[in-house]
Chain A
Amino acid sequence: MSRYTLASSIFNRLTGLVLSVGLLLLVYWLMAIAAGPSAFARALRLLSLPAAKLAYAALTVAFCYHLIAGIRHLVWDTGHALERAQSRLSAYLVVAVSLALVLLIAWYAWLSGTRAP
């Protein structure tokens, strides 16, 4: 037993928890929009703090990893790719694909650039 199984399992849980906290942010954002333009402007000050931007980065990483790792779990549930070598390969594949996804989102967000938050 090597440590990658442990790492991929823990990281899937951890990113899931991060996304659960992210739901709080999502609902706060939705409530702020519903509260009208002036309330939204106040909320936007909070949502464009450096700490909030750090949270967006963490959420992007968590989302990408949890999405791809979740698809790996769904493939397992069909009974496929459960052999040790395949599982090892898919663990690294998940990291590679989710990292590429993070870069894609970051690139796109940066490209569409100046708009806040």
Chain B
Amino acid sequence: MSLRTPLGKVLGLGAARDGVQHWWTQRLTSVALVPLSIWFVVSLLTLPSLDHATVVAWMSQSWTALLLIILVLVATWHSQLGVRVVVEDYVHGTGARTVTLVAMLFAHVLLAGAGVFAVLKVACGGAA
């Protein structure tokens, strides 16, 4: 016997109300983060120095800026999805849970925005 309701089956929705979207996005961002994060770590390790001038020169290259922006966006997205699951599992009470979820979402949007803004500013020569 299936525990799924006929309506749920038709709409493809589970108890989380948005079906497999969360699960699938978490997988997609994971797959993207494997090469992106490895690229970032290897870049940091192989830069001749981590002083301001060297990092700015590195970030001013188009490919670096582009990949950094994608990294910031995908990483904050993946983090938001993961943190959300942890909050849903461990924060009890609808009020507290909702407030925590909204705060975490806002924090992640702020992080993503700040990260992208910073990379763009450097790439456009605003950090000289």
Contact = CB atoms under 8 A, between A and B. Distances in A.
Contacts of B126: 34
A67 B118 contact: no
B7 interface: no
Interface in A45-103: 63, 67, 70-71, 73-74, 77
B91 to A, nearest CB: 13
Contacts of B79: 16, 19-20, 23
Nearest to A108: B45
A115 to B, nearest CB: 5
Q: Label chain B's interface by main secondary structure.
A: helix
A116 B47 CA distance: 12
Most chain A C-beta atoms within 10 Å of own C-beta, residue among B33, B34, B52, B75:
B52
Q: Label chain A's interface by main secondary structure.
A: helix
Interface of B: 27, 30-31, 33-34, 37-38, 41, 45-46, 49-53, 55-56, 59, 68, 72, 75-76, 79, 82-83, 86, 111, 114-115, 117-119, 121-122, 126-128
Given A20-B83, A23-B76, A23-B111, 14 more contacts: A17-B82, A17-B83, A20-B79, A23-B79, A26-B115, A30-B114, A30-B115, A30-B118, A30-B119, A30-B122, A33-B52, A74-B31, A112-B45, A116-B50
